[in-house]
């Protein structure tokens, strides 16, 4: 049987969801026997490959690079899992949305809070411009499975991956599996 091609992607999130993935501990060894990790912050792969079976997407869409990346991810992946509350709702990453745009945050961080010579970073092609409004993943591209939690527990992640490895759609029910936060 062909090994499942698994990817994980880190967009506008704190990496806590990926840390929770590492909390799978020894089950990672079982997982490694069944999948090829073809793209991830854990792997040194520069370009998102074609033909991904399952991708876990951590984080919301917060800048122009994220917008471009999520389109590529969607085009090249069969099953897209919205991985963690920032991906599912915007969560912490979207806290700046009521301010109306990214400008007040940039002013606060890089000008008002600067010790000396405050400057807002501006390097076209290197520093991606922030979007005015942070968006959860499903508002930009279709999502197949929602995996909530901040972060989702390792048990929740394992339950989803085990179902996908069996070729089934994960059934997340009850407080243990669909609680936010």
The residue range among 39-47, 86-94, 122-130, 138-146 that interacts with ligand SF4, by the rule CB under 6 A, is 86-94
d(CA 7, CA 86): 18
d(CA 33, CA 55): 17
Report helix, strand or coil for 35. strand
91 binds ligand SF4 (CB under 6 A): yes
90 binds ligand SF4 (CB under 6 A): no
Written as six digits, the tokens of 140 are: 């930009």
Q: How far is the CB of 65 from ligand SF4 (least distance, A)?
A: 16
Written as six digits, the tokens of 84 are: 């963690």
Residues recorded for the chain = 181
Contact pick of 69, 70, 94, 150 for ligand SF4 (by CB under 6 A): 150
d(CA 143, CA 81): 6
d(CA 138, CA 27): 29
Maximum alpha-carbon separation in the chain: 60
Contact pick of 92, 130, 131, 160 for ligand SF4 (by CB under 6 A): 92
Per-residue binder mask for ligand SF4 (CB under 6 A), 29-68, x = binder:
-----------------------------xx---------
The residue range among 35-43, 45-53, 63-71, 85-93 that interacts with ligand SF4, by the rule CB under 6 A, is 85-93
86 binds ligand SF4 (CB under 6 A): yes
The Cβ of residue 63 has, within 10 Å, a number of other Cβ atoms equal to: 17
14 binds ligand SF4 (CB under 6 A): yes
73 binds ligand SF4 (CB under 6 A): no
d(CA 22, CA 134): 26
Contact pick of 151, 156, 159, 161 for ligand SF4 (by CB under 6 A): 151
Kindly list the residues in this chain that would bind ligand SF4 in the complex (CB under 6 A): 13-14, 16-17, 58-59, 84-86, 91-92, 150-151
């Amino acid at each position: 049987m062909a090994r499942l091609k698994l990817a994980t992607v880190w967009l506008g999130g704190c990496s806590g969801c990926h840390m929770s993935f590492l909390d799978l501990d020894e089950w990672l060894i079982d997982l490694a026997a069944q999948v090829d990790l073809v793209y991830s912050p854990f792997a040194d792969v520069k370009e998102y490959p074609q033909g991904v079976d399952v991708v876990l997407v951590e984080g919301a869409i917060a800048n122009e690079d994220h917008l471009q990346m999520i389109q590529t991810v969607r085009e090249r992946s069969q099953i897209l899992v919205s991985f963690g509350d920032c991906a599912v709702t915007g969560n912490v990453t979207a806290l700046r949305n009521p301010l109306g745009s990214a400008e007040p945050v940039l002013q606060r961080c890089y000008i008002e809070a600067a010790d000396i010579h405050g400057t807002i970073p501006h390097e076209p092609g290197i520093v991606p411009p922030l979007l005015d409004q942070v968006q959860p993943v499903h508002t930009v591209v279709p999502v197949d499975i929602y995996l909530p939690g901040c972060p989702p527990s390792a048990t929740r992640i394992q339950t989803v991956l085990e179902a996908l490895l069996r070729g089934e759609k994960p059934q997340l029910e009850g407080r243990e599996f669909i609680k936010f936060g």
